[in-house]
A = this chain, B = another copy of it.
Amino acid sequence: MARATLANLPAYLPAALRTLGRQITCPKDGWVFRKGDPVQAVFLVLNGEVRLSRFAKDGSEIALHRAGGGEFFAEAALNAPRYHCNAIASQPSTLLAFPAGKIRELLAKDPEFAQQWVALLARQLHAARARLERLALKSAAERVLHYLHTDGKGPRCEVALVGSVKDLARELGLTHESLYRTLARLEQDGVVVRRDHRLGLV
């Protein structure tokens, strides 16, 4: 039952939303919504991963965003009548769906919620801009170092390589072969270190 998920809820989830989410599960490659569907909800990923994407005319899929555990997605849909991209689970996932109408109502009536929601959007915007700046870099090594500087934790700018290196390659807009070679060269040059499933500077 839904209450069992309360333990998994992220700390930054606005209090007003804690009882509003309807839990849904999605198998790998299952569709959460499709481009053009009427907007009904905003989502929070509890487990798994959902990718937002569009399909080019040649059939190739272009990812706009990947939302992992603890992340919202489709927040920007609040002002739109229809979704403008597809949401597909990259892994078996459990989500919380928050009715868009309720959220609009809260924004209008609950100042505290509005502040929390603004903070949430600002965080996402910040992350998107960092990624944008990263993709504008021309060399693979620059992108890796930019990633460490913006997403790394602690003095060593360490990041956990949670999935496969191929996933990181997608995040950086590189082929996995290029990323392997770049990581090998950076490590050989003493710029980064890989240990266990962590990557850091020095």
On A, residues with C-beta under 8 Å from B are 52, 54, 56-57, 62-66, 75-76, 78-79, 84, 104, 107-109, 111-112, 114-115, 117-119, 121-126, 128-133, 135-137, 145-146, 149-150, 173, 201
Task: List 9 other contacts, CB 8 Å, given A57-B201, A84-B126, A108-B111.
Answer: A63-B133, A63-B136, A64-B126, A64-B150, A65-B130, A65-B133, A107-B115, A121-B122, A135-B135
How many copies of this chain sit in the oligomeric assembly?
2
**How far, in Å, is A55 (CB) from chain B's closest CB?**
10
Tell whether, in the assembled complex, residue A122 and residue B78 are in contact, meaning their CB atoms are under 8 Å apart.
Answer: yes
Tell whether, in the assembled complex, residue A132 and residue B78 are in contact, meaning their CB atoms are under 8 Å apart.
Answer: no
With the chains together, A60 CA to B75 CA distance in Å? 35
Q: Which residues of B contact A136 (CB under 8 A)?
A: 62-63, 135, 173
Q: List 7 A-B contacts (CB under 8 A).
A: A57-B201, A62-B146, A76-B126, A79-B119, A117-B118, A121-B125, A135-B173
Q: Which residues of B contact A117 (CB under 8 A)?
A: 118
With the chains together, A201 CA to B84 CA distance in Å? 20
In the complex, the chain B residue whose C-beta lies closest to that of A117 is B118
**How far, in Å, is A17 (CB) from chain B's closest CB?**
14
Q: Which residues of B contact A63 (CB under 8 A)?
A: 133, 136
In the complex, the chain B residue whose C-beta lies closest to that of A51 is B133
B62, B109, B112, B125: the one contacting A133 at CB < 8 Å is B62
Q: Which residues of B contact A79 (CB under 8 A)?
A: 119, 122-123
In the complex, the chain B residue whose C-beta lies closest to that of A56 is B149
Tell whether, in the assembled complex, residue B64 and residue A129 are in contact, meaning their CB atoms are under 8 Å apart.
Answer: yes
With the chains together, A114 CA to B129 CA distance in Å? 22
In the complex, the chain B residue whose C-beta lies closest to that of A84 is B126
With the chains together, A149 CA to B155 CA distance in Å? 43
B107, B109, B126, B145: the one contacting A118 at CB < 8 Å is B107
